[in-house]
Structure 1
């Protein structure tokens, strides 16, 4: 009887140690983003170790079988981990096209060797005080940075400065509607952003300041050179799932999307109209408190991928030679086809205000619409309004 009590106590002690170690490894694994593969593996290995210890204490006659099973499991685990890491290495090697792929600091106004375009002559408007607080879409920061460099006082304007901020489209709308931004440079608002403004009793004024193309791109080696609007709508509704259906290779289509309320996602929603958009590819990310945050995957340039953005971002800012813009209805997006509006997905972008009382806001907007302002639109790489 005493022997059995000793075995039971010994097993419980060993089981507690194994369970504690397994739990600790599981927590570390979850905090490091391994919940999809490594977390289940840790649980399985922990359970098998508990079973092994049970056999070691209570069924010693089967120990040889248990030892062989444990060695076999370790070999299988090693092979599985190796295969998983090889697969992850492949996916990680695929280039990503993302708004986080470039450094906006290179476009800060008045910085030495800034990429922000210079007017080349004194501006007809100079502001020294009551500077309008600016924000906007990531891809439009080079443009309104150039405006600042021409009109605002010469000083440092940090990316997070309240006067000239570079957040993102969703945050820019938030700042505009809560009164901490006077002007934002963006594509048109989403249905949700319009609803929030209406709920707050705020009327947004949209002033077109240039034209841009909403573009779709694929891997440079994809044999498909162009798509019709109906084919694109079919892809993003989930009705078309293989490149072979649109004249390409027999490969499944990886159709990437952008986060909700971003400028390009709003453009996709408007393009799709009443056609439901399929669920996007998602990634799981671990928050600081260990919870799981699901985010829309950034475009990864797989041979069978398709993504979208605005022409300036996709060509001028990213300059990724491994992607190629698609023709839409037989027309390639370019400054010429945006100007003559033969490219079917060209549209205006705006400076948007929401009742700011700053007297310099209308002055700055008028200057942006002037010959000098429109010249900067063109020099930055966008298409100016016709007739400036």
Structure 2
């Protein structure tokens, strides 16, 4: 179970990012495996992270492991939602901006107006956004148009009418007349924005979706309500719930598994990102650079796997290190 709150003492298009995700394994075969992290001298200071709740637990794992290596480092993690990251970076109240979605154009523009260049997005892990139901729910899967009809009021994905009862999804017996109880994230969450874009075809949520302040609240709510359905990162899977396979159009149902997220077949897979303020042609501050190098090492990616997410393919890691100017770091 993940904690609800945290206070601890790209420039590429999204479609391009997802195409790299689906092709990651083929590329990774030609790239060396990520190396173990090697400590360097002179790393000290305070590092502040402000942003996503979705992978706050993972950022905290990284932070704790990094502070064990460097006793003179203090990493502070605040995780109220992805929408808080751009402002923190613009106002220089944080060096790291974890986000479970790419920055919006207006967020990028605001940063660029302040600094004269765009922020840099670093891919740090792969997540599958899962749709959870109670473990006793017999539903076998959902298509995008059905998912949209359950959660949206705009029906942009092809459904003809809203879905309000489980019987409309083919369930019989006692389930046929059961109302659907919906749980999701609030609007500051990157998960909210990603689900709106992908699963609702950029439509609008129904007014009766119970918005939760954190991913842990979503899965907890679904686990305690027989009629419930909710969306959250797969890393928040817990007892009492089940992730539904998802299908696009009339295609096959794809299970929300690490393997399917890594190979790009699961339709709600996404990169988890950390945005940083890196001036063109200038290196990152040593503390920031070493923390990112740790994340992109085999040690950091083992923590990704430990927390239920999908480690990056080796080729993606190589690209991120090169973009940050860290490819040759010893």
SS of equivalent residue, structure 2 residue 259: helix
CA 209–280 in structure 1, closer or farther in 2 if over 3 Å, else same: same
Residue 210 of structure 1 pairs with residue 125 of structure 2: yes
Cα offset, 1:123, TM superposition: 3.6
Q: Deviations over 1:318-369 (max 9, x none)?
A: x2x2221111122221112212222111111111113476343234323422
SS of equivalent residue, structure 2 residue 121: strand
CA 122–252 in structure 1, closer or farther in 2 if over 3 Å, else same: closer
Cα offset, 1:197, TM superposition: 4.2
Segments of 5+ residues of structure 2 without an aligned counterpart are 10-34, 154-161, 248-252, 318-330
Cα offset, 1:156, TM superposition: 9.1
Residue 199 of structure 1 pairs with residue 110 of structure 2: yes
Q: What corresponds to 2:207 in structure 1?
A: 279
Segments of 5+ residues of structure 1 without an aligned counterpart are 1-96, 110-120, 158-162, 284-293
Residue 183 of structure 1 pairs with residue 101 of structure 2: no
SS of equivalent residue, structure 2 residue 185: coil
Is the contact between residue 123 and residue 150 of structure 1 (CA under 8 Å) also seen in structure 2? no
1:132 to 47, 52, 61: 47
Q: What corresponds to 1:250 in structure 2?
A: 177
1:382 to 296, 309, 312: 309
Residue 323 of structure 1 pairs with residue 246 of structure 2: no
Q: How does 1:218-367 map to 2 (within 5 A)?
A: 218-238=133-153, 239-248=162-171, 249-271=176-198, 272-281=200-209, 299=218, 300-301=221-222, 302-313=225-236, 315=237, 319=238, 321-329=239-247, 330-355=253-278, 358-367=285-294
Is the contact between residue 212 and residue 311 of structure 1 (CA under 8 Å) also seen in structure 2? yes
Q: What corresponds to 1:93 in structure 2?
A: none
Q: Deviations over 1:22-79 (max 9, x none)?
A: xxxxxxxxxxxxxxxxxxxxxxxxxxxxxxxxxxxxxxxxxxxxxxxxxxxxxxxxxx
CA 190–98 in structure 1, closer or farther in 2 if over 3 Å, else same: farther
User: What's the TM-score once normalised by structure 1's chain length?
Assistant: 0.57
User: What's the TM-score once normalised by structure 2's chain length?
Assistant: 0.66
Is the contact between residue 136 and residue 166 of structure 1 (CA under 8 Å) also seen in structure 2? yes
CA distance in 2, matches of 1:154, 1:323: 39
Cα offset, 1:221, TM superposition: 1.6
Q: What corresponds to 2:27 in structure 1?
A: none
**More contact order relative to length (CA 8 Å, sep ≥ 6):** 2
Higher helix share: 1
For the pair shown, which has the larger CA radius of gyration, 1 or 2? 1
CA distance in 1, matches of 2:295, 2:204: 37
CA distance in 2, matches of 1:346, 1:281: 22
CA 122–337 in structure 1, closer or farther in 2 if over 3 Å, else same: closer
SS of equivalent residue, structure 2 residue 147: helix
CA 156–142 in structure 1, closer or farther in 2 if over 3 Å, else same: farther
CA 240–190 in structure 1, closer or farther in 2 if over 3 Å, else same: farther
CA distance in 2, matches of 1:295, 1:209: 23
Q: What corresponds to 1:15 in structure 2?
A: none
Q: Which region of structure 1 is more displaced relative to structure 2, 329-338 or 350-359?
A: 350-359
RMSD: 3.3
Structure 1 residue ranges, 4+ long, deviating more than 4 angstroms after superposition:
none
